[in-house]
Amino acid sequence: MSDTSALILVVDDNEMNRDMLSRRLERSGHRTQMAEDGVQALELMALQSFDLVMLDIMMPRMSGYEVLEHAKADPKLRHVPIIVVSALDELDSVVRCIELGAEDYLFKPFNPVLLRARVEATLEKKRLRESEQMFLSQQTAAPAVDIWLPDFVTERIKTGKERVVDHFDQAAVLVARIVGLSEVTSPEAMIALLEQHYSAFDTIVRANHLLRVRALGTEYVIAAGIPTWSDEQVTILTQTAQAMQAVAASVRHESGTTIGIQIGVHTGPVIGATMKSVNVTYYDLWGEALMVASQLAAFARIDGTLVSPTVAERLGSAFRLEPAGGVVPESAYVLIS
């Protein structure tokens, strides 16, 4: 069995869906167990240590929402990543699942390529967290956390607002995925490489006056046009993608590793809101722009950037773009230069 093989719990009340998803995961080298509803899922999670849970929403006895609530409230289970796989494609359902602690959300019927990319990215983040915890447990003190709350949010929090919630009809979102870290065996080396990437990315974000949404595990998300939109923001974000690719190439050359980066860029509506975790408040995004950018990143080639048609239309002839073709969603374009 491969070192990267994971034990995954598949939860769905439909037997055909359970079997199909399990077979897909097993073909990727993973082991699976199945549960036919939320009650059975929680019973199995209490008895067995799973690396990942693939969770349906609409089920008898206990819904996926309830499973998320129970799992994230249990200290023994809250660390287990959960990906929701549901036929419900309403934005409200996506937001609710993310707020309840879901790692990701996939719509049925799922694309097999996207499924594999999301599963592997989630498992890599889990391995990275475990390596970080092991490394930090050996340190005398953990570094301070940089929350990066944007000014327009900070000012509203100062007025006494408990939660800031925004809806933006238009925003540009870039999702970057660092790949290849699983080949780095030393936790110290892994964290050092991530710090190199993220420190350089942060410098680029600050220089371009962009919003860093999150830097979690191997995923780095930034946004432009928040809170004020202009078409120029798309150009700035695309230039940022090029700069990030240059950083990744430089780090790879210096470190001698095979680490690469995949980037997706899309424009569309998003929801922004402050979230609380323990004593930390941060500002996060959900919605079409982020979801499509994440899909594009998953389909991008290593060291490549995919942009959606809405991005390509706004860029015009300022950049060289070529149709991606193949199984890539949204009739995407490859950013050449």
Q: Taking the domains of the chain in order of start, what are their residue ranges?
A: 7-134, 151-335
Residue range 151-335 in CATH 3.30.70.1230: yes
pLDDT reported for residue 36: 94
pLDDT reported for residue 204: 92
Q: For 7-134, CATH number? A: 3.40.50.2300
Cis ω for the linkage preceding 112 (within 30 of 0): no
pLDDT reported for residue 210: 93
**Coil, strand, or helix at residue 167?**
strand
pTM over 0.75: no
Number of other CB atoms surrounding residue 163 within 10 Å:
11
Q: Which contacts (CB < 8 Å, 24+ apart) does range 32-37 have? A: 32/7, 32/8, 33/7, 33/8, 33/9, 34/9, 34/10, 35/9, 35/10, 35/11, 36/11, 36/12, 37/11, 37/13, 37/61, 37/62
Backbone φ and ψ of 287, nearest 5°: 125, -175
- State the sign of the Cα–Cα–Cα–Cα dihedral 68, 40, 74, 137: negative
* Closest-CA residue to 297 (of 286, 287, 306): 306
pLDDT reported for residue 118: 82
* Closest-CA residue to 313 (of 201, 170, 113, 166): 170
Q: What is the mean pLDDT, run by run of 10 residues, along the chain of 337 residues?
A: 74 93 92 94 92 93 92 87 83 79 83 83 75 53 54 83 85 92 75 86 92 86 94 94 91 75 94 74 85 88 92 91 75 86
Backbone φ and ψ of 135, nearest 5°: -70, -50
pLDDT reported for residue 260: 87
Backbone φ and ψ of 231, nearest 5°: -60, -25
